[in-house]
Structure 1
Amino acid sequence: MKMKIIVAAMLAASVMHGALAQDNKYPQPTAAMQAIIDKDTRRKFGDAPEDAGPLAKDLSPALTEKDIDRALRKVADWQLKRTMEYTDQIWTAAVLYAGFMAASDATGDRKYRDAMEKLSKGFNWTLRGGQYPDADNIAIGQMYLELYLQDKSPEKIAELRKHLDEGINLKTLRPGDERLPWWWCDALFMAPPVWVKMWQATGEQKYVDYVHEQWQKTYDLLYDQEEHLYARDASYKTKREPNGKKIFWSRGEGWVMAGLARTLEVLPKDDPKRPFYAQQLREMSAKLASIQNANGEWHAGLLDPQTWPLAETSGAALIVYGMAYGVNAGYLDGKTYRPVIEKAWKGLLTHVYEDGRLGGIQQTGAEPAYYRPSSSYNYGIGGYLLAASELKKMVKK
């Protein structure tokens, strides 16, 4: 009976979601927002068709290994074909690659890992970004390092290590640019896991020390001690939503939540800085749980859901990942957060289409924006794969 009720609720949500999309009863992108959508589509990050077909009816939100695995594979398999057709080293793809690596571990299916190995060899284990690649451009190093740790061929991390060693003494983003190396909150997902994984690969403490130094600086600049959320960058500390509240972007907070999880996962167990990261995970999780909507979702503008009525799935997926990790690692109380996670996962699955597309992903940017319900981009799917993979660990406990 309970399963019938769950399935019925899923179907009802799917019908409502489909009706919303069909009737266009949601704010449409402005000309500037549409220009970014068009650019992201041209760059093969994903797309946002007017009609993406019917929503999936074969997925259950039940937190069982079988049901999570089915939901994971449905989206992963749809995306994998597209990924191998349009390869790139840019951050949007790098996030997806991290998701595929996690999916391979979670499912035991080597095809995802093997595809990432093939891509890495095709890239010759190199980075974008010239002499001073920033956090976005080293994000692909997460995949390179994970592949290296499974098969320690030096060429896999040689260029990455060279760039880290050259950048470690830079106090700013690059010569002539006085911004912090991690001046925007997204960077806390892109870069710290690379640095701590390099410590894991080499045993050299300097890589962990760099993370501690730079994260503290970014925290001091961007973390709001009242709201327990990060400003996207310093310019957003004084900006406000139409309702007068501060602007906190769901995907930006998702990047930090996921970055905390991926950093804590690798950080030495006895590292004295560990409580610094764990406390942020607890504070941010509590805040995000308090503003989760009735459907288990979060809006692009977290504190102004009326202005941004559509649920945003890339931020939600990254938040689920961070919370599930927190429960698994013992930083978050399971009795408190499992219901939050379960409700959020149920909400995410209402955005999966029959063919495996994950919709509701906002186009690239730095702040809340409007998008179609069908909108699907690779970085959001990377977050979804990370979330599903961590959920499988959670249900095994």
Structure 2
Amino acid sequence: MFKIGLIINPLAGLGGSVALKGSDGMAEQARALGAEPRALARTQLALAELADLNDRLMMFTVGGDMGETVCRQLNLPFETCYQPASPSTADDTRNAVARLVEQGIDLLLFAGGDGTARDVCAAAPESLCVLGIPAGVKIHSGVYGVTPAGTGRLLAKLVRGEPVSLMAADVMDIDEVAFREGRVRARRYGEMLIPGELSYVQAVKVSGVESDELVLTDIADDIIERMQEHDDCYYIMGSGSTVAAVMERLELDNTLLGVDLVYQQRLLASDLDARGLYQHIRDKKCKLVITLIGGQGHIFGRGNQQLSPEVIKAVGRDNIWLLATKTKLNSLQGRPLRVDTNEPELDRELGGLMRVITGYHDEVLVRVANPEDEAQ
């Protein structure tokens, strides 16, 4: 199941139709001038794109008009995880974000304007993928879809398991008081990860065809930069030519069909077995650098049994760096990635969306799912 967190700012956009140039602190005045709420209706437009996908998703949302109302109206499967004040406030948005993150959501969907985006950004972890339904008066932030329906179509791609690029987008807001006086004062408040429309445009092209050699160099440069940022970690280097490109860039000997261990860009051990690997990394901060098998899509269980369930658990899902060229991903023809750790429960825990590093500062989201779990 694709887990969607949903937060609606029911006051978003109230000030627009009555020329108040914003809604922050203006809800009562806007209503007195005859403004009609729009956030719920715009959320309905977005979520209507999921009408045929009820069996693939689960909504985790907020009570009343902050989410529950729309889920009921559209007969979406949902759980209410937080009850807001009446009327709801910015604190409710921030508190709801924290509560929804606890549910292990794959994506946080929110409806509002730049003020709502700021509140979400303040509370959301950097690793959380978010997507905004434009419902505010001013939309300077880059975290919103161009239209509610467009937002819904992009979300449907994710629910269907189609790989979608990740990108960082700025959260912007303006001083509404100054804006009402005719002065625009925009300020950047941070950035959040959003799904971008995937076209699988190649990161590096030679005569219109992806060059594996250049793409592998791009991937290797990205990984080495990450290693420098996490210099206190041990790095388990999995098998395969994609990981071998990283080792070559590091100028380290590599076991093409084995597993090596690197620390501070030095080779500590080569061709480790499962027991030896676990003894090296237990109780240590570590990352696993691994690729998938082209055409099959297996991450674990095909030629890398050194990465035992014990090792994978010690590393943790969030510390897996999965590498692949987009050519390799395209060879799967839309099929999800597979895991075969020999522990069904661990296989299920590894399921869901996983980032795949496909170039220098270039990632896509791809679903990990086994057939037995897809059938449930």
- TM-score, normalized by the shorter chain, greater than 0.5: no
If each structure's helix is expressed as a fraction of its own residues, which one has the higher value?
Answer: 1
TM-score (norm 1): 0.29
TM-score (norm 2): 0.31
If each structure's strand is expressed as a fraction of its own residues, which one has the higher value?
Answer: 2
Higher Cα Rg, which structure = 2
